[in-house]
């Protein structure tokens, strides 16, 4: 496990946590994906304040928080972006999963890198009552609240490259870890859906109105949105070994680039996708045939899905005859926007930890211009043992705006003599109370006058 041949040191994943549709915990997320289940359901009227024919992957009971435990005023919490509350609570779970209490990490040179997008506009009444109104309006507080609560001394960064946000943040964290600027990094992604975001996708004609999200399949007919929050705690392998941390998987390499000028902001660039894959492979020191599984991006669009498969085939199996399994978590939970990359990474890390391949819930009907049976690619369709001694996987992620990310991740096997001093700890008991938010008068008026909303009473229930 030592770095050799001039390659940069591997990065250890020492803690994981998440809340995704149908999965309130890391263990529930693993059960969902390994059992091939889907958490996509009809959008209920109370979620957005109006009836909808759409489907989505949504989290239940997201709007609860223990403001006393996190030493925040109740009025501050009422004015804050729910995403900021979600990542703060999840960061506590992350440290405990890695075996650290909040007291033990106080003063640590740990960076916080959160992929997310905040367009939160608190109503003036709530803002006027907030003790620290800046925490309700500043996007940087998606990450800064974490640094503040745990008293972390590394950089606190929020970044938005759409779907690839969390993996771009991970790439920044890897560089800081390898340079010695920080000793640990909290890396995550968050996206909670609101009515405006959902409507924007609908107006663009991108939403699928069917209950199944198909990818790499001739039945693909648009996207089904999802939401969630996920985080990983990472260190260099040498630091993790020194600290006696549990290691769930190691990141061999990360690469990012951009599509540049294309036909439109969401149009992919085949050559750019191939380039980011090739760069990550070269950085990792791995040969294409050593990668036996690839977690694909998948978009539910015939053109972008076709280009991604062609890029994968070109880089990973153009000269190899060994099979490469493909999958995507999106048919399980929907497309979680800025949390997409972290959802994929946590899925792959769990697969590597358990040495198990999991079912992909689409890809049953060949796309018109790509017959996968004529290639060395295949879609994983069942629970199977991952038989390689040290299995390795790739993760592909691209986004509106063109920023592509690609990771090479490998399984880890501890030596029998290593003492693991850090293991998951029981979480503190949280008193998660409902955060009562009154929507702004402007929001209520817009919904009522447009005819898409029901009433102020319905909206009040929505935010409870």
Domain that holds residue 344: 11-410
Cβ(81)–Cβ(142) below 8 Å: yes
221 located within any domain? yes
Q: Do 385 and 401 meet the contact criterion of CB atoms below 8 Å apart? A: no
Say if 165 falls within a structural domain.
yes
Q: What is the pLDDT of residue 456?
A: 38
Instruction: Please give the pLDDT value at position 267.
Output: 87
Look at 283 and 48; give whichever has higher pLDDT: 283
pLDDT at 440: 47
Is pLDDT at 49 greater than 80 in this prediction? yes
pTM score: 0.93
Between CA 382 and CA 440 the distance in angstroms is 48
Is residue 388 assigned to a domain? Answer: yes
Q: Give the lowest-confidence range in 86-100, 181-195, 329-343, 427-441.
A: 427-441
**Proportion of the chain above pLDDT 70, given as a percent:** 93
Q: Residues 224-234: pLDDT tens digits?
A: 999 999 999 99
Query: What pLDDT was estimated at residue 52?
Result: 84
The mean predicted confidence, pLDDT, of the chain is 91
pLDDT: is 87 or 446 the higher one? 87
Residue at 109 is within a domain = yes
Q: Answer whether residue 136 shows pLDDT above 90.
A: no
Residues 112-122, mean pLDDT to the nearest whole number: 92
Tens digits of residue pLDDT in 247-273: 999 999 999 999 999 988 878 999 999
Task: Check residue 6 and give its pLDDT.
Answer: 60
Rounded Cα gap, residues 294 and 396, in angstroms? 7
What are 299-314's pLDDT values in tens digits?
999 999 999 999 999 9
Report the pLDDT value the prediction gives residue 411, as an integer from 0 to 100: 98
Whole-angstrom distance, CA of residue 307 vs CA of residue 311: 6
Residue 272 belongs to domain with CATH number: 3.40.47.10
What's the mean pLDDT in 452-461?
39
Domain assignment of residue 5, yes or no: no
* pLDDT value of residue 132: 87
Q: What's the CA angle centered on 229, arms 226 and 235, to 5 degrees?
A: 140
Q: What is the DSSP letter of 245?
A: B
Region 393-409: mean pLDDT is 95
For the chain, the domain total comes to 1
- Within a domain: residue 313? yes
Average pLDDT in the 169-185 region? 98
Q: Is 276 exposed, middle or buried (0-12, 13-18, 19+ CB in 10 A)?
A: buried
Residue tagged 């239940």 (tokens): 60
Beta bridge partners of 194: none
Query: Above 70 in pLDDT, residue 452?
Result: no
What was the pLDDT predicted at 455?
Answer: 39
Q: Report, as an integer, the average pLDDT of 436-444.
A: 57
Domain-embedded: residue 458: no
Residues 6+ apart with CB under 8 A from 278: 315
Return the minimum-mean-pLDDT range out of 30-34, 61-65, 348-352, 381-385: 61-65
Does residue 298 form part of some domain? yes
| Mean pLDDT value across residues 349-373 | 96
pLDDT for 450 beyond 50: no
Letter string b/e over residues 24-43, b meaning 16 or more CB atoms within 10 A of that residue's CB: eebeebbebbbebebbbeeb
Q: What is the pLDDT of residue 197?
A: 82
Mean pLDDT (whole number) for 422-431: 97
Q: What phi, psi does 135 have (nearest 5°)? A: -70, -15
Query: 198: pLDDT confidence band, cut at 50, 70 and 90?
Result: confident
* Section 342-353 average pLDDT: 98
pLDDT at position 278 = 98
Cα 6 to Cα 30: distance, rounded to the nearest angstrom? 35
Sign, CA torsion 326/329/330/336: negative
The mean pLDDT of 6-20, rounded to a whole number, is: 94
3-state secondary structure at position 346: helix
Per the CB < 8 A criterion, the answer to whether 240 and 14 are in contact is yes
């Amino acid at each position: 496990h030592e770095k050799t041949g001039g390659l940069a040191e591997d990065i250890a994943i020492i803690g994981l946590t998440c809340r995704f549709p149908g999965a309130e915990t890391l263990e529930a997320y693993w059960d969902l994906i390994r059992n091939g289940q889907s958490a996509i359901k009809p959008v209920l009227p109370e979620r957005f304040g109006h009836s909808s024919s759409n489907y989505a992957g949504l989290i239940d009971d997201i709007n609860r928080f223990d403001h006393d435990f996190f030493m925040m005023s109740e009025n501050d919490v009422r004015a804050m972006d729910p995403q900021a509350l979600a990542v703060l609570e999840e960061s506590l779970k992350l440290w405990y999963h890695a075996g650290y209490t909040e007291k033990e990490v106080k003063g640590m040179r740990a960076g916080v890198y959160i992929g997310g997008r905040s367009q939160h506009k608190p109503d003036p009444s709530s803002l006027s009552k907030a003790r620290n109104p800046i925490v309700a309006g500043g996007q940087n507080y998606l990450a800064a609240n974490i640094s503040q609560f745990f008293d972390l001394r590394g950089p606190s960064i929020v970044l938005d490259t759409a779907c690839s946000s969390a993996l771009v943040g991970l790439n920044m964290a890897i560089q800081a870890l390898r340079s010695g600027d920080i000793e640990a990094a909290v890396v995550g992604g968050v996206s909670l859906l609101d009515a405006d975001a959902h409507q924007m996708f609908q107006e663009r004609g991108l939403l699928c109105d069917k209950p199944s999200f198909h990818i790499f399949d001739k039945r693909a007919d648009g996207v089904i949105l999802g939401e969630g929050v996920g985080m990983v705690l990472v260190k260099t392998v040498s630091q993790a070994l020194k600290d006696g941390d549990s290691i769930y998987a190691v990141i061999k390499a990360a690469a990012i680039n951009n599509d540049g000028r294309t036909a439109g902001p969401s149009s992919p660039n085949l050559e750019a996708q191939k380039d980011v894959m090739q760069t990550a492979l070269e950085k990792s020191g791995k040969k294409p045939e050593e990668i036996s599984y690839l977690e694909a991006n998948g978009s539910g669009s015939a053109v972008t899905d076709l280009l991604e498969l062609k890029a994968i085939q070109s880089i990973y199996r153009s000269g190899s005859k060994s099979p490469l399994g493909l999958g995507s978590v999106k048919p399980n939970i929907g497309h979680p926007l800025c949390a997409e990359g972290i959802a994929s990474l946590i899925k792959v890390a769990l697969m590597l930890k358990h040495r198990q391949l999991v079912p992909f819930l689409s890809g049953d009907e060949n796309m018109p211009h790509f017959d996968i049976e004529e290639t060395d690619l295949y879609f994983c369709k069942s629970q199977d043992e991952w038989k390689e001694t040290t299995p390795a996987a790739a993760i592909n992620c691209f986004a509106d705006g063109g920023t592509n990310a690609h990771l090479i991740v490998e399984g880890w096997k501890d030596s029998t003599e290593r003492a693991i001093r850090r293991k998951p700890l029981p979480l503190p008991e949280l008193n998660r109370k409902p955060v009562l938010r009154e929507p702004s008068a402007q929001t209520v008026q817009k919904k009522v006058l447009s005819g898409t909303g029901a009433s102020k009473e319905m909206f009040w229930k929505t935010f409870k």
